Amino acid sequence: MRFQTSRENQEVFSGNSDALSSLIEAYDASFTVCRDVGETGPERMAPPKVAEYIQKAFTGGNIQVSIIDDQNIIEKDFPLMAAVNRAANTVKEHQARLIKLEYLGEGETQDTFFVVGKGVTIDTGGCDLKTGGHMFGMCRDKYGSAVVGGFFKALDVLKPKNVKAIGYMCMVRNSIGARAYTCDEVITARSGKRIHIYNTDAEGRLTMLDPLTLAKEEALKAVNPHLFTLATLTGHEVLSYGYHAAIMDNGPAKSSGWARKIQEIGDIYGQPIEISRLHPEDFAFHQAECEQADLRQGNTKPSVATLRGHQTPAAFLQMASRIDEHGTDSQSPLKYSHIDMGGCSGDHPSVSTPNPLVTLVAGLILPRV
């Protein structure tokens, strides 16, 4: 994967008004999509409404959009995503949607990106109900998917060459009700792993898990693949890094130097990203404590009261999707980076900040324009 230096970027855009106008247009369009999806309330941007908006936003462009709206298919192929949306499914306007975005650039593909975004349109906490005012602003719990939408809008406008990108926007609503999923359930994921539910307010990792597994399956047939998850996932990340995103690489991604390079680009473009490292205890933490499950989803505490509360979900996603079977010592290593952007959108109801969208566009798209 090639990264463009700041000097090279300056040479491309300096003195070239057409190129500069295209860049401004791309960022403006990507910000608009990101904010429209991420900032808008839970009814105006319920899962079906997000699907309608995305289809209109990319009509006639360079992005192919496909929507899975059949709840039977979602329940069969994405069982954990379906579990999170189980209570909301009783309301037609709140039913889940899995939105797939595809871009194929001109020329021979050299890199393939798979980007999976958390899209929880309102997070009540489910049966582990958020109390004490902590539900306020949870309409922005879909900001991971919002950044995915914005990223693909930049692809749509800039049309980079030699790259293929596939995005999944996992749109659900974590409601509370008679059919809500609960702690103590054991649910078999798409990967075949049996997941023991400990806390229904740790729904983001579950929402992304099965689409990530699908992306992993596709990545094994792709050219130089790199998998990403983007999520407003934990309060622990917010306490650790405030309004900045945190990157956690697996072995192959770390070996490629991706996190360090994208961090440098973030510094240049004024949107810093922090790097968190995974350790063996993050993986051990998610080993099941009962015989009927393979993994536990988390624990009964909020992330802010859990040691390494934003690192362990990255380990869980690798284990539950079986990405951990494709490390540096495997015959088919896969690069995977988890980006926790817990506080990146800013405080509701202030205008949101499309973070880390600027840096991702600068690092992954601009070198190929």
pLDDT of 197-254, one tens digit each? 999 999 999 999 999 999 999 999 999 999 999 999 999 999 999 999 999 999 999 9
Note the pLDDT of residue 136. Answer: 95
> Per residue in 270-325, pLDDT tens?
999 999 999 999 999 999 999 999 999 999 999 999 999 999 999 999 999 999 99
Tokens of 93: 């306007």
- Please give the positions annotated as active site: 130, 205
Mean pLDDT score, 96-107? 98
Percent of residues, the chain, with pLDDT higher than 70: 96
Residue 173, SS3 per DSSP: strand
- Residue 10: the pLDDT is 52
Query: What is the predicted pLDDT for the residue at 18?
Result: 80
* 13 pLDDT more than 70: no
Bond before 42 cis per omega within 30 degrees: no
Q: How confident is the model at residue 21 (pLDDT cuts 50, 70, 90)?
A: confident
Residue 11 has pLDDT above 60, yes or no: no
Work out the mean pLDDT of the chain and round it to a whole number: 95
Q: How many residues does the chain have?
A: 369
Supply the pLDDT for residue 16.
73
The residue type at 306: T
Distance, CA of 295 to CA of 302 (rounded, Å)? 18
Instruction: Give CA 308 to chain center in angstroms.
Output: 20
Interatomic CA distance for residues 256 and 241, integer angstroms? 24
Q: Are 112 and 324 in contact (CB under 8 A)?
A: no
**pLDDT tens digits, residue range 131-141?**
999 999 999 99
Q: Any idea of the CA torsion for 36, 40, 231, 125, to the nearest 10 degrees?
A: -170
| Across 142-167, average pLDDT | 98
Where do the structural domains in the chain lie, given as residue ranges?
6-368
Give residue 1's pLDDT.
53
Give all strands of the β-sheet with 97-104 in edge-to-edge order: 64-68, 97-104, 163-174, 111-123, 225-231, 335-340, 245-249, 273-275
Can you tell me whether residue 68 is helix, strand or coil?
Answer: strand
In CATH terms, the fold of domain 6-368 is Aminopeptidase (3.40.630)
Q: CB neighbours of 57 closer than 8 A, spacing ≥ 6?
A: 33, 36, 149, 153
Confidence of residue 22 (pLDDT cuts 50, 70, 90): confident
Task: Sort 178 into a burial class: Cβ within 10 Å, 0-12 / 13-18 / 19+.
Answer: exposed
CA distances from 107 to 104, 200, 221, 275, 306 (A): 9, 45, 18, 33, 47
pLDDT of residue 20: 84
**Mean of pLDDT values over 19-31:** 91
The whole-number pLDDT of residue 72 equals 97
- Please say whether the beta carbons of 259 and 346 come within 8 A: no
- Asked if residue 5 has pLDDT above 60, the reply is no
What proportion of the chain, given as a percentage, has pLDDT over 90?
93
pLDDT at 9: 58
Helix (H) or strand (E) holding 85: none
- What is the Cα–Cα distance from 227 to 332, expressed in whole angstroms? 14
**pLDDT score, position 126:** 96
pLDDT at 19: 81
DSSP string, 268-301: HTT--EEE----HHHHHTTB-SSTT-SEE---SS
DSSP annotation of 235:
H
Do residues 173 and 49 touch, judged by C-beta distance below 8 A?
A: no
